[in-house]
Amino acid sequence: MASFLLTSVTVLLLSTTPGGRGSSYHKISPQLSKSLTKQEYTANVFVTFSQGTESVLATISAKSFPSRSARLDQVHDSLVSHAASTQDDTIQLLAQEGHPYKSIWITNQLYVPDATMDLVIKLASSPDVAYVSQEEVIPLHQPVYRGPVRKRGKVRPSGEWGIMKIKANEARSLLKSLGQNVSIVVSSIDTGVRGTHEALSSNWRDDGYGWYDPYDKSALPRDKDGHGTHTMGTICGSGGIGVYPEAKWMACRGCKGGCTQFALLSCAQWIACPTMANGTKRDCSKAPHVVSNSWGGGGGRNWFDRAIGVWHAAKIIPLFSNGNEGTACNTTGSPADSKNNVISVGSTTVDDALSFFSSVGPTFDGRMKPDVSAPGSNVLSASHKGDSEYQPMSGTSMACPHTAGVAAILLAGSKQEMEYDRVLQLLADGADTKSLLSGGRGCVGVTDKVFPNHQFGHGRVNAFNSLTKLIKESE
Ligand SMILES: *[C@@H]1O[C@H](CO)[C@@H](O)[C@H](O)[C@H]1NC(C)=O
Ligand SMILES: *[C@@H]1O[C@H](CO)[C@@H](O)[C@H](O)[C@H]1NC(C)=O
Ligand SMILES: *[C@@H]1O[C@H](CO)[C@@H](O)[C@H](O)[C@H]1NC(C)=O
């Protein structure tokens, strides 16, 4: 990281490097050049090819498939063969150099750890390569508040405040009365999950495809931070902390301290087509229906967009926390602001005001965000510290899983496979607006009293209202 200080040296180095390969320098990201100012320095890099994934995905979108798993197989298989054919020459170059690499099919990229500037220049010189950049390390959306870890104490029969506010239990009763028996699988990319926690142990999908840890390849769900146990507890924990405990869950450990680009993309691939915990026996039919993401960095960055595009092709619903950089305008983070569309979620308090930290739109290119909001201040959920320990936390990280749970309820209530647009529409149409407290704020001429707006989006989600609308519309 000391390399940040060496900008002026970089300029010198680049301007005095002998000619011949000059044309490849523009393909090397400025950040990477800054990090590799000395011959012996190395960096973890991503090689992006001129051939994207868009044409492959367009072909898939135009097709219809006899089953969900047939579609998932096609998404995986066609992207893998696309990556193999477009990466071939570059992989041969790395093999000649004896340098390790990982091929990433979901974005058609190569991950090359510990690359020197010499190697980076060779990679950039290939006509197939669009650019070479340094691996990003993305922060979790750290909770702005982590309260004391404690035993449960008195269990509220109606659930925690957020569960009550969004009428999750009313929606679950309605779902039961429909007599439908659709099994929904939810997932998160987070710090992991304490799989033995009393609120989460019974609905972990323990068929060998319920856990993946790109950092340590651990065999069973674990969480050394607490963030991921908490968010999964809110999606589907039992005992009144979770929105939809009837869902099964699976989880990928994208974050360990920070979240590396390699781990996040490995998780994105695993979500689209899961393997067993040791990375073998790929089975795309095990993909979840919903993926909840409570991580992100500053806005306007698009490095995760292709992964989101693949999730859409696979008909997996992506949700992201909007960020904890509010409440000034233009503070929505990435990938919450992705041009490829995700359901981004802002945070509300027990009084239905905007949480003081909740990030606000518009995006850098003027789109309205967040899409909806949900309870995120002082949310009690499962703790990683013990199987019967609980902890309050605050953040848009806590709001996103509430909404992921509602999305799962809607999917369970639908007779047919539901499209992303329909899920978002139902969340928006069912959201509460009248009870929300205006902060007297506004952005780009839209106040927070009219809906949708850049503070609350379409409003605070309401599972019962949205499910009721779904049922009425399908009658
Ligand atoms: C729902 O389906 C599962 C299998 O998918 C089955 O084990 C269970 O008995 C079913 N429940 C009802 C109420 O039909
Ligand atoms: C991976 O795990 C599965 C299930 O435990 C096992 O059957 C398989 O042999 C393992 N493969 C390797 C290469 O370790
Ligand atoms: C926020 O972003 C919008 C849309 O890009 C832009 O019009 C506006 O000037 C920005 N406002 C601030 C305070 O940066």
Question: Cβ contacts of residue 60 below 8 Å, gap of 6+?
Answer: 71, 74, 75, 78, 313
Residue nearest to atom 9 of ligand 1 (CA): 181
Average pLDDT rounded to a whole number, residues 176-189: 91
Residue nearest to atom 1 of ligand 1 (CA): 181
Give me the pLDDT at residue 179, please.
86
Strands (E), 29-157: 43-49, 102-104, 109-115, 129-134, 137-138, 145-146, 150-151
Instruction: Give the chain's mean pLDDT.
Output: 93
Q: Which among 467, 419, 459, 411 is positioned nearest to 435, based on CA atoms?
A: 459
- Return the higher-pLDDT residue of 140 and 250: 250
Q: Is the pLDDT confidence value at 419 over 90?
A: yes
* Residue 474 exposed, middle or buried by CB count within 10 Å (0-12, 13-18, 19+): exposed
Q: CA-to-CA distance for 208 and 221, rounded, in angstroms?
A: 11
Q: CA-to-CA distance for 162 and 156, rounded, in angstroms?
A: 12
Going from the Cα of 207 to the center of ligand 2, the distance in angstroms, rounded, reads 13
| Ligand 3 atom closest to the CA of 366, numbered from 1 | 4
Nearest ligand to residue 185 Cα = 1
Going from the Cα of 181 to the center of ligand 1, the distance in angstroms, rounded, reads 6
Give me the pLDDT at residue 474, please.
87
Residue 278, ligand 2, Cβ within 6 A: yes
Average pLDDT rounded to a whole number, residues 138-143: 80
Catalytic residue among 227, 289, 402, 458: 227
Residue 207, ligand 2, Cβ within 6 A: no
Q: CA-to-CA distance for 418 and 411, rounded, in angstroms?
A: 6
| Ligand 3 atom closest to the CA of 330, numbered from 1 | 1
Going from the Cα of 295 to the center of ligand 1, the distance in angstroms, rounded, reads 34
Give me the pLDDT at residue 328, please.
97
Q: Is the pLDDT confidence value at 136 over 90?
A: yes
Q: Which of 5-9, 303-307, 356-360, 413-417 has the lowest mean pLDDT?
A: 5-9
Percent of the chain scoring above 90 in pLDDT: 88
Residue 220, ligand 2, Cβ within 6 A: no
285 catalytic residue (yes or no):
no
Q: Which among 211, 245, 189 is positioned nearest to 412, based on CA atoms?
A: 245
Average pLDDT rounded to a whole number, residues 22-30: 86
Going from the Cα of 286 to the center of ligand 1, the distance in angstroms, rounded, reads 18
The structural domains of the chain, with segments of one domain joined by +, span: 23-135, 145-474
371 catalytic residue (yes or no):
no
Residue 179, ligand 1, Cβ within 6 A: no
| Longest Cα–Cα distance in the chain | 75
Whole-model pTM?
0.93
Residue nearest to atom 14 of ligand 1 (CA): 181
Q: Which among 330, 329, 328, 252 is positioned nearest to 295, based on CA atoms?
A: 252
Catalytic residue among 190, 213, 223, 371: 190
> What band does 12 get if pLDDT is binned at 50, 70 and 90?
very low
Q: Is the pLDDT confidence value at 5 over 90?
A: no
Residue nearest to atom 8 of ligand 1 (CA): 181
Tens of pLDDT, residues 240-256: 999 999 999 999 999 99
In this structure, whether the domain defined by 145-474 belongs to CATH 3.40.50.200 is answered with: yes
Q: Is 426 in contact with 469 (CB distance < 8 Å)?
A: yes
The H or E element spanning position 259 is strand 259-260
Catalytic residue among 126, 344, 397, 466: 397
Residue 328, ligand 3, Cβ within 6 A: no
Residue 280, ligand 2, Cβ within 6 A: yes
289 catalytic residue (yes or no):
no
Angle subtended at Cα 368 by Cα 365 and Cα 370, rounded to the nearest 5 degrees: 120
Which of 181, 202, 207, 285 should be mutated for ligand 1, with most atoms under 8 A from CB?
Answer: 181
